[in-house]
């Protein structure tokens, strides 16, 4: 693939027929790991890299010894305050599996580690010199957002905004340095593969920067986006949703995409916590509890019902169908009469996306079930809107409140009234079916809402606020 795209190895890109250049490079995160691994793999007892000076053209060789890092780590092992706090056992002695972990590499090539090494061995140390070069290079090519440079107060981490950036000069020097290193007659260096790939990709990055500002006129460029991280994380989700299978098939990729899509969309939005995320997986954990009529004071919330009809709530149709279909499916499992079942089951939907999922065994809800779902959904959305959310959270039994409120609304609802007034031919009142449906749907909505709250609590705990989690009382 690589040789197909790069016809001539001296040019960092090739032109395809569309006229746009195609830049071909390797994943930069991988290099950082490779450099560290190459270093660890040096044969001598100190694990030494012999490399030329970065700035001068003098022929003196510098020595970067990994043992320097090791010794610094050992020296500070028992100290409470450390010069190089990021040096952990895992970072200094990574197992073969831990060698895959980028954050451990970042502990080695790190500002604090660099400062620690400098304090310990002095500026002239080859190890300091080496870590500094690699760290500088990494900072430049790993800018993932616009504010990192400001937060870290490091101008190397700012996004590129023009082709006349000093950092490009550094990258050029870095390339020249790699060339000089390669020309050396030593075995204490990077492997040929790492060397070549590092050279090629670094030169491509500077080409991309120059092209972006001269060729296409972009506003800014984030070099950290030229990595395969996002792609890799997507694939890991494919693997996870395909039963932890490493080699996923094309069919599984399509299936996973559908699942991931459905997870990413649910219209319910809390005023306090933001959008409520929805995941089909959690539906398996939800048990059907019988609706018990306990006393809950709905009066403070009755005004919610007045809003319905006036307030438009954005409901994602596919997700709603998914939730309603699930509720219908669970309900029919408890029904023996086919007429009852027919009442909750539909045959097809107009939603293309959902119909695709139906082929893999999902239940289609009937129109009346979807209508009930929409109604419930709207009530829930209003309860967690800015006006009611605080009151809603202080309520003793949220599920009961939601059920009672919906029950009250249904009584005066034009098409949903049927649930209260009619019975099936077998004699079963439709209220029976209604109660089951509503209970399941309530659980799904409240469960997602609780998850959202918990996520926020974990976040605020990290910020030092130590509050005890209170779960919603809805079971
Ligand atoms: Zn029946």
Span from the CA of 232 to the centroid of ligand 1 (angstroms): 51
Burial class (CB in 10 A: 0-12, 13-18, 19+), 138: buried
- pLDDT bin (cut points 50, 70, 90) of residue 177 is very high
- The token duo for 7 is 């016809």
Span from the CA of 329 to the centroid of ligand 1 (angstroms): 16
Query: Which residues fall within 8 angstroms of residue 175, CB to CB, at 6 or more apart?
Result: 199, 202, 203
Residue 10 has pLDDT above 60, yes or no: no
Span from the CA of 194 to the centroid of ligand 1 (angstroms): 71
* Arithmetic mean of pLDDT over the chain: 80
Over its C-alpha atoms, the chain yields an Rg (Å, rounded) of: 31
Q: Three-state DSSP class for 305? A: helix
Residues 214 and 347 in one domain: no
Span from the CA of 419 to the centroid of ligand 1 (angstroms): 13
Residues 258 and 219 in one domain: no
Q: In the Cβ-directed half-sphere of 138, how many Cα atoms lie within 13 Å?
A: 23
pLDDT tens digits along 323-332:
888 889 889 8
Query: Packing angle between helix 398-411 and helix 367-383, nearest 10 degrees?
Result: 130
Candidates 155, 147, 393; CA nearest to 271 is: 393
The domain of 288 spans 267-462
In a domain, residue 234? The reply is yes
Span from the CA of 30 to the centroid of ligand 1 (angstroms): 63
In a domain, residue 283? The reply is yes
- pLDDT bin (cut points 50, 70, 90) of residue 313 is low
- DSSP string for residues in 64-81: EEHHHHHHHHHHTTT-SS
Residue 468 has pLDDT above 70, yes or no: no
Structurally, the chain folds into a number of domains equal to 3
* Whether 127 contacts 65, CB under 8 Å: yes
426 vs 122, 329, 340, 346, 435, CA distance in Å? Answer: 90, 20, 8, 20, 18
In a domain, residue 271? The reply is yes
CA distance 72 to 383: 58
Span from the CA of 435 to the centroid of ligand 1 (angstroms): 15
Residues 172 and 305 in one domain: no
In a domain, residue 345? The reply is yes
- pLDDT bin (cut points 50, 70, 90) of residue 420 is confident
CA distance 357 to 324: 14
* Whether 254 contacts 353, CB under 8 Å: no
Residues 411 and 341 in one domain: yes
pLDDT tens digits along 331-363:
988 888 888 888 888 877 776 666 666 655 678
Span from the CA of 422 to the centroid of ligand 1 (angstroms): 11
- The token duo for 376 is 């419930």
Residues 112 and 50 in one domain: yes
In a domain, residue 473? The reply is no
């Amino acid at each position: 693939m690589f040789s197909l795209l790069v016809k001539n190895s001296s040019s960092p890109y090739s032109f395809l027929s569309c006229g746009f250049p195609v830049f071909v490079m390797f994943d930069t995160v991988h290099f950082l790991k490779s450099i560290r691994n190459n270093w660890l793999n040096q044969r001598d007892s100190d694990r030494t890299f012999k490399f030329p000076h970065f700035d001068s053209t003098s022929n003196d060789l510098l020595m970067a010894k990994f043992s320097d890092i090791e010794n610094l780590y050992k020296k500070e092992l028992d100290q409470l305050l450390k010069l190089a706090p990021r040096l952990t056992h895992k970072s200094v002695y990574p197992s073969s599996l831990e060698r895959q972990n980028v954050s451990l590499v970042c502990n080695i090539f790190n500002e604090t580690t660099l400062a620690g090494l400098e304090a310990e061995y002095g500026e002239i140390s080859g190890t300091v010199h080496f870590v500094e070069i690699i760290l500088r290079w990494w900072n430049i090519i790993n800018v993932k957002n616009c504010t990192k440079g400001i937060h870290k107060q490091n101008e190397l981490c700012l996004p590129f905004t023009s082709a006349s950036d000093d950092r490009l000069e550094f990258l050029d020097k870095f390339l020249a340095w790699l060339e000089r290193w390669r020309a050396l007659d030593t075995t204490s260096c990077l492997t040929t593969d790492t060397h070549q790939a590092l050279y090629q990709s670094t030169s491509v990055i500077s080409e991309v920067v120059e092209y972006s500002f001269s060729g296409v006129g972009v506003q800014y460029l984030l070099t950290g986006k030229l990595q395969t991280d996002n792609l890799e994380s997507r694939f890991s989700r494919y693997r996870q949703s395909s039963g932890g299978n490493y080699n996923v098939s094309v069919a599984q990729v399509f299936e996973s995409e559908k699942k991931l899509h459905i997870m990413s969309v649910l219209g319910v939005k809390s005023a306090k916590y933001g959008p409520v995320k929805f995941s089909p997986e959690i539906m398996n954990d939800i048990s059907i509890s019988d609706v018990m009529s306990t006393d809950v004071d709905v009066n403070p919330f009755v005004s919610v019902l007045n809003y319905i009809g006036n307030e438009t709530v954005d409901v994602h149709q596919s997700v709603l169908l998914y939730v309603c279909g699930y509720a219908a499916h669970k309900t029919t499992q408890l029904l023996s009469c086919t007429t009852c079942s027919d009442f909750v089951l539909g045959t097809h939907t107009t939603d293309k996306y959902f119909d695709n999922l139906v082929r893999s065994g999902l239940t289609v809800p009937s129109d009346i079930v979807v209508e009930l779902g929409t109604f419930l959904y709207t009530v829930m959305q209003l309860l967690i809107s800015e006006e009611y959310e605080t009151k809603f959270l202080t309520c003793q039994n949220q599920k009961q409140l939601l059920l009672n409120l919906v029950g009250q609304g249904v009584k005066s609802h034009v098409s949903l009234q049927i649930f209260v007034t009619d019975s099936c031919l077998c004699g079963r009142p439709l209220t029976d079916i209604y109660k089951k449906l509503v209970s399941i749907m309530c659980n799904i909505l409240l469960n997602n809402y609780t998850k959202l709250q918990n996520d926020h609590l974990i976040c605020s705990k990290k910020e030092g606020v130590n509050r005890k989690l209170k779960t919603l009382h809805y079971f």
